[in-house]
Amino acid sequence: MIETSRIYTHRDVLTIGVAEGWADAQTDPTRIDWAPRQARAVIPFEVVDGRPVNPCEKTGIRYGRNELGHWGEQVCADAIVIATDEHGHRWLVMVERGDGHGWALPGGTVEAGEAPAEAAVRELAEETGLSLEAGARWQPLPPRYVPDPRASDEAWMVTVPARCDLGTVARADLPAVAGADDAARAAWVRADSYPGLTAHLAMAYGGRVFAAHTDLLRDVLDQPASRPMDSGRSHLAASVGIYAPRSAEMRLTTLADAPSSGLLVLHISNAPAWFALNSTGADIEAEAEAMERLAELATEAAARLRAPSAGTREVTS
């Protein structure tokens, strides 16, 4: 049985973390003004008796920050860069973390005033030397909770991944990558499937996948890929939990107050739905029409809920 009353904060958080600026200097979360942090949270969370509560899991560390520097939610961004070689094999850029936690997607913390997609591009360049800003086709993916082994019940991570598919590239012509910043090394890893990825890491590098990225990589590699975001086409994508929320539990915000990120977040209690909008390149009128159509379908669904005797008929867009 997990002991839920454990108290722990790694000493590096209180020393190195505070000195380098990646950790909150405040050691008592009840002295933090939580309203601003809750307002900009990607995944809503509660504060009980002045202490933040992890909205997604019990970690076993009930009090303290474990190995993370911040209190509450920390938003990060991860870069998913994929290419297919001349033989049809898929390759993925990964980095070996310098902290010994395994191989991960290039990524890191979203800085103040920075859009998550911008952070993903920046982290990719810093950790691998690969710059894909010019002409690259980046697709923002839905934000998601990160089951990070360094988290606690009072400090956790949320990531906003961004995907870039380079298309077909000869194996010999894959862009060069090299570990830098806090990455020990970087490499193109064969990733036809998640089991194939783990096998390649083990055989080629004696490595393993960073536990926090396991679910994300399974979803990316073992599910059909979505189309890249092209201009002149609507790219409304939604992910929503199936349950009956109260209307008062819903609110619509831009992600971390950064409209340039191209993401609108519909919070439904503690289960947010995400609308990924290509606000920088897509036809805005087409996006607006997609949103209006979604509203029409929601209105029709509400009417059917109020009149269940009318029968059941599929509602399509």
Domains of the chain: 7-221 (3.90.79.10), 247-310 (no CATH)
Q: In what order do the strands lie in the sheet with 273-276?
A: 250-254, 263-268, 273-276
For residue 250, what pLDDT is reported?
55
C-alpha distances (whole Å) from 132 to each of 123, 180, 185, 213, 308 are 11, 16, 19, 22, 52
Structure-model confidence comparison of residues 305 and 196, the more confident one: 196
Q: Tell me the pLDDT of the chain averaged across its residues.
A: 79
The pLDDT tens digits for 223-272 are 754 444 333 333 333 333 333 444 444 555 554 444 444 445 554 444 44
- Residue whose token pair is 């009980």: 48
Considering the entire predicted model, what is its pTM?
0.67
Residue 165 has pLDDT above 80, yes or no: yes
CA angle 128, 132, 135 (to 5 degrees): 170
The pLDDT tens digits for 83-122 are 999 999 999 999 998 888 899 999 999 988 888 888 999 9
